[in-house]
Structure 1
Amino acid sequence: MENEMEQPGDLTAEEQREVLEAAMQAGHILLENGAEIFRVEETMDRICRHYGIRSGNSFVLSNGIFTTSGNEREEIFAKVQHIPVSGTHLDRVAAVNQLSREIEKGRLSPGDVRQRLDQIRIMPGKSKIMQILASGIGSACFCYLFGGNLKDSFSAFGSGILLYVYVIFVSSPHLSKIVGNIGGGALVTFICTVLYLLHFGEHLNFMIIGSIMPLIPGVAFTNAIRDIADGDYISGSVRMLDALLVFFCIAMGVGLVFSLFHRLTGGVLL
């Protein structure tokens, strides 16, 4: 059955289009949720080749996919999808990777693939409470890892929780990325400074560094380096610029609050 499906002549024009749409959808989900460029291109190519489409070509950027196919034996197909730079959901990336393995084993028809991709697209993310708790725990652990003591870590835990309450309920739904990250850096610095002045912590620098970590786009920065290393210079540069912009905005928020406290206290307390 699998060998029969691999022959291009055995697919009707509608079936070829369904395979190409499925490959496009798989690439969209991967790119939208933080996958590397080479992974997106490889997955789309594997889906097309498994079902016998040899003329398929995909060009993937950090925020768009261009797919074409067609020759004397296969239907002409061309499609472009714009995919805005967004967050990272590695559970969906892992689900598409698993689906790709099942496709190569010959277990699924093109219709089954489209159905599974629709299910992956609507997979629920982590609950808001879990994200807030993870932010607090992560902040405390990073604070301790960077050299803070237990008092600093407890302060960072509270600051991390308040930070993600702001991210989920204020920044993400109502603010732009630039303003949201400036506000997040400022909020963390203000909370940690107040806790430090109230003697709930002993090392202000470790408290702030640990509490800021949930804002850092580590996956995006790492993927940017991998894309550049793989020769995808345009996509890698875009992702790198996006990550550096976040770093700059966080630093701006921290600097603004430090400047404010410095003026208010005359440089005595900070």
Structure 2
Amino acid sequence: MEAALQAGHLLLENGAEISRVEETMERICQYYGVHSGNAFVLTNGIFVTVGNRNEPVFAKVEHIPVSGTHLDRVAAVNQLSREIEEGRYTIGEVAGRLDDIKRMPGKTKHMQVLASGCGSAAFCYLFGGNAADSAVAFTAGVLLYLYVLYISGPHLSKIVGNISGGALVTAICILLYSAGIGNHLNFMVIGSIMPLIPGVPFTNSIRDIADGDYISGSVRMLDALLVFFCIAIGVGVGFALAGWMTGGALL
């Protein structure tokens, strides 16, 4: 049961949907002969109980703070649960394998910054921008994620970080647009804010609600909508300041 709980913790912590967490825990319990296990999974917590006439009593609660998404770890735990059903691991080996998954390195900061820039440029082009617009979006995306990694993430709250991040990319795009770089300010800003968009949490919230996990789905939906709202405020503040400084000439 400890192994199943650790697997569920890893899944939930790294962005898996509620149904996947419950299914994986159930797979592990059933294979190792735990038939009285019950798990209640929420967005940031797992409640587990075991016990009947034949099995010892076990109860535990795990608090799991809402954090980032690491789908490589989710995929690794998912694969492990299927290999367990094939009889490849003893319970001791499962614990060691879960520890290895927990220590899997995430993407390097250089890779995250580059991915942010490339993603911003690609989305800008996808939404209708040209090559010059994509170049501006790439620059804004790179600077945005440097800000997220070194200033916003370590030192600011989620709300303040998203508002200031939206304002930052807007200001960068406006400055470069005013300098004559790029032709479509709207596409530049839209592409640049995409690294801030919580796409996976929003998608998982819809899946959770569709699966009947209304509490967890609603919490994730609210969290995603709050991020959307904060980004919109930041972009609005950036445009408002630019309009005030230019006397409305930019707009």
Which residue pairs with 1:136 in the alignment? 117
Quote the Cα distance in structure 1 between the aligned partners of 2:244 and 2:142.
28
Which residue pairs with 1:13 in the alignment? none
Quote the Cα distance in structure 1 between the aligned partners of 2:247 and 2:174.
15
Q: TM-score normalized by structure 1?
A: 0.92
> How far did residue 266 of structure 1 move?
1.2
Which residue pairs with 1:264 in the alignment? 245
Say which one has the larger Rg: 1
> How far did residue 263 of structure 1 move?
1.0
Give runs of aligned pairs for residues 35-50 of structure 1, distance below 5 A.
35-50=16-31
> How far did residue 84 of structure 1 move?
0.9
Which residue pairs with 1:120 in the alignment? 101
Which residue pairs with 1:16 in the alignment? none
Which residue pairs with 1:209 in the alignment? 190
Q: Does 1:180 align with 2:182?
A: no
Which residue pairs with 2:89 in the alignment? 108
Quote the Cα distance in structure 2 between the aligned partners of 1:258 and 1:155.
17
Quote the Cα distance in structure 2 between the aligned partners of 1:57 and 1:73.
15
DSSP 3-state at the match of 2:59: strand
Q: Deviations over 1:77-134 (max 9, x none)?
A: 0000111111100000000011111100011011110111011111100000000000
Q: Does 1:75 align with 2:34?
A: no
Give runs of aligned pairs for residues 114-263 of structure 1, distance below 5 A.
114-263=95-244
In structure 1, stretches of 5+ residues that fail to align are 1-19
Quote the Cα distance in structure 2 between the aligned partners of 1:132 and 1:265.
31
> How far did residue 190 of structure 1 move?
0.3
DSSP 3-state at the match of 1:68: strand
Runs of 4+ in 1 over 2 A off after TM superposition: none
Q: TM-score normalized by structure 2?
A: 0.99
Identity of aligned residues (%): 74
Quote the Cα distance in structure 1 between the aligned partners of 2:45 and 2:91.
23
> How many residues matched?
251
Quote the Cα distance in structure 1 between the aligned partners of 2:179 and 2:61.
56
DSSP 3-state at the match of 1:236: helix
